[in-house]
Amino acid sequence: MRFHPQEMRNLGKAIETEMLDLFKKARYKLNDKPREVQPEVYTMLCISAALVYTQVIEWADQDLMEKGKVAIDFNNRMQDAAKNDEEAERASAIRKVQG
């Protein structure tokens, strides 16, 4: 089996870029209207619902940040794998045949 280090690098970078962009857009939408709505919607009669609502919004925001870290970590691992493959290829190349 042969790997192509540059393709591995490109894939890792593309995944990181696309995922971080999606998570950024999701966080923007999450932190825009949903956070503005909470004070207007809930009254003292629904204080427990208001508390749960704010906790869910915060949890979702934190989850998106964690997913961004996973995308960055995946890219880093792909870059390391590409580097290791290149180093292994160089180390295993036959340099001189003794006869």
Domain of residue 20 covers 5-89
In a domain, 25, yes or no: yes
pLDDT for residue 78: 96
In a domain, 97, yes or no: no
In a domain, 95, yes or no: no
Structure tokens at 29: 């939408």
Rounded Cα gap, residues 70 and 8, in angstroms? 17
pLDDT category at 47 given cuts 50, 70, 90 is confident
Mean pLDDT of 74-94: 93
pLDDT category at 31 given cuts 50, 70, 90 is confident
pLDDT for residue 45: 66
In a domain, 36, yes or no: yes
Given a cut of 70, whether residue 60 has pLDDT beyond it is: yes
In a domain, 94, yes or no: no
Residue 64, number of CB atoms within 10 A of its CB: 17
pLDDT category at 2 given cuts 50, 70, 90 is confident
Count: domains in the chain: 1
